[in-house]
């Protein structure tokens, strides 16, 4: 449900507001004499690149990539080309249907158009790891151009250490891991930029008491007509790599020097849980537990597989927030240890979901089951008042010959939606019996 997130490897205007505000108080980073915009960027690119490399512990980084100024129209064309290069119309449609099935966007939403409009509005600069160039918006004020340049120079340095295009390439079936990687690279870019701006004051980001003010500024600056109208899930998806990625890298810097970041890229966070709770990566490692969902296509005549992916703590929290509210929904997802879902579309255009989530303990799993039950009725109002509690801790709803069910066993919870009555028990049994490849039975 987040495979298109790597298209956001372009610094949004909301991040620039935070960076430019800090940059304005650091005269050493400004061009000394007024000059045309392109010349001004060229003049500051090399020294900024050298200073950022020194902070990262990279000796002799060489010259920075070329800097180009681009218009909004050129920026949109670049976004369209990148989207077409990475994703076929079928893949984008599958993403849209997955989001509809989970209730995070309306059924008739034009996801491709929204992403094009959203990125055109929010994207101010980007580093192209294939062409090895940086593009900065020509409509930005000078301070924001320099802030954008600083951010993209970090991406250029990251690209020296690993092929950035491959690091966040489409990763079918592992959307949560991809979002965690996106948060790592964007978090470092924001954090290293802040660190460079703190250096003249004898400070560094790891010595700050907290970053809540900077994170709050990024969130509060997320404005614009398109982002204002976008579904909340998509706004959160845009913000997550910058806000939560910054928090993760801040915690890293409190424990390690910048030079140790290379080791993190060799063994990066594997879930949004590790980004949201850095101690589960930096201190006692808590990697995701593999979960399997079997192919139920043989039980669903005419059903077409739409998606086979994971939610992760971030997206699970969004789904739960639909009925619990923002803070409680995010809190309810804490304790996530692993999950998997498959979605099919039936011949009536309705979505069948098979989902299993593993929690840290049985108590958290039982609470998750209760919250998922409420989520079912929130996303399917026609089920209100039809819940039936059966033996063994399963709650079911029957509507028009289709069964919905939520069941908790130990540390696991299974959610099934729109299964035909005649196959529900077989599907339920198959989901509980499924094991990841290589797992003990």
pLDDT digits over 65-77, tens only?
Answer: 999 999 988 888 9
Tell me the mean pLDDT in the region 139-149: 88
Structure tokens given for 117: 């409009």
How many CB atoms neighbour CB 207 within 10 A? 10
Residues 422/345, Cβ–Cβ less than 8 Å: no
- Give the pLDDT of residue 11: 52
CB under 8 Å, gap of 24 or more: what pairs does 355-358 form?
A: 355/293, 355/311, 355/414, 355/415, 355/416, 356/291, 356/292, 356/293, 356/412, 356/413, 356/414, 356/415, 356/431, 356/434, 357/291, 357/311, 357/316, 357/412, 357/413, 357/415, 358/289, 358/291, 358/411, 358/412
pLDDT tens track for 279-301: 999 999 999 999 999 999 999 98
pLDDT at 40: 82
Does residue 320 carry a pLDDT above 90?
yes
- Is the pLDDT at 116 greater than 80? The verdict is yes
Q: Say if residue 6's pLDDT is above 80.
A: no
Cα separation values, 11 from 268, 331, 369, Å: 21, 29, 38
Evaluate if residue 7 carries a pLDDT over 60.
no
User: pLDDT digit string (tens) for 399-436?
Assistant: 999 999 999 999 999 999 999 999 999 999 999 999 98
The pLDDT of residue 15 is: 52
Parse the chain into domains and list their residue ranges: 3-282, 297-433
- CATH code at 297-433: 3.40.1000
Rounded to an integer, the average pLDDT of 177-203 is 93
Answer yes or no: is pLDDT of 395 > 90: yes
At 334-388, the pLDDT tens digits run: 999 999 999 999 988 999 999 999 999 999 999 999 999 999 999 999 998 899 9
Residue 27: pLDDT band by 50, 70, 90 thresholds?
Answer: very low
Does residue 26 have a pLDDT over 60? no
Given this model, what pLDDT does residue 438 score? 58
Confidence (pLDDT) at 213 = 83
Name the average pLDDT for the chain.
88
| pLDDT over 70 at 21, yes or no | no
Question: What's the pLDDT at 10?
Answer: 52
pLDDT of amino acid 255: 96
């Amino acid at each position: 449900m987040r495979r298109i997130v790597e298209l956001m490897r372009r610094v949004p205007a909301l991040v620039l507001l935070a960076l430019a505000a800090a940059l304005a108080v650091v005269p050493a980073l400004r061009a000394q004499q007024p000059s045309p915009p392109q010349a001004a960027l060229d003049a500051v690119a090399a020294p900024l690149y050298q200073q950022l490399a020194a902070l990262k512990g990279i000796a002799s980084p060489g010259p920075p990539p070329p800097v180009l100024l681009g218009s909004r129209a050129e920026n949109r064309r670049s976004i369209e080309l990148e989207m077409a290069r990475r994703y076929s119309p079928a893949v984008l449609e599958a993403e849209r249907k997955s989001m509809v099935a989970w209730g995070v966007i309306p059924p008739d939403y034009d996801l491709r158009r929204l992403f094009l409009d959203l990125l055109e509005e929010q994207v101010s600069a980007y580093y192209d790891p294939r062409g090895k160039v940086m593009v900065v918006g020509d409509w930005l004020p000078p301070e924001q151009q320099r802030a954008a340049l600083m951010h993209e120079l970090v991406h250029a340095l990251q690209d020296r250490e690993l092929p950035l295009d491959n690091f966040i390439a489409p990763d079918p079936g592992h959307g949560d891991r991809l979002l965690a990687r996106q948060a790592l690279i964007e978090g470092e870019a924001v954090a290293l930029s802040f660190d460079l701006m703190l250096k003249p004051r004898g400070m560094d980001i790891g010595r700050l008491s907290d970053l809540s003010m900077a994170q709050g500024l990024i969130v509060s600056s997320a404005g614009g007509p398109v982002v204002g109208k976008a579904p909340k899930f998509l706004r959160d998806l845009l913000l997550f790599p910058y806000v939560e990625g910054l928090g993760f890298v801040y915690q890293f810097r409190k424990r390690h020097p910048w030079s140790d970041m290379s080791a993190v890229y060799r063994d990066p966070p594997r879930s949004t849980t590790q980004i949201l709770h850095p101690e589960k990566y930096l201190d006692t490692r808590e990697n995701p537990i593999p979960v399997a969902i079997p192919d139920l296509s043989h039980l669903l005549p005419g059903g077409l597989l739409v998606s086979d992916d994971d939610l992760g703590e971030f997206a699970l929290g969004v789904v739960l927030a639909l009925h619990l509210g923002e803070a409680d929904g995010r809190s309810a997802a804490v304790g996530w240890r692993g999950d998997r879902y498959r979605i099919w579309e039936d011949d009536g255009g309705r979505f069948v979901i098979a989902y299993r989530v593993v929690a840290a303990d049985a108590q958290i799993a039982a609470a998750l089951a209760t919250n998922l039950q409420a989520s079912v009725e929130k996303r399917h109002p026609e089920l209100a008042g039809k819940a039936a509690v059966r033996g063994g801790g399963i709650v079911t709803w029957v509507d028009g010959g289709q069964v919905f069910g939520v069941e908790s066993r130990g540390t696991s919870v299974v959610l099934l939606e729109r299964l035909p009555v005649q196959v529900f028990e077989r599907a339920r049994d198959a989901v509980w019996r499924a094991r990841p490849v290589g797992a003990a039975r």
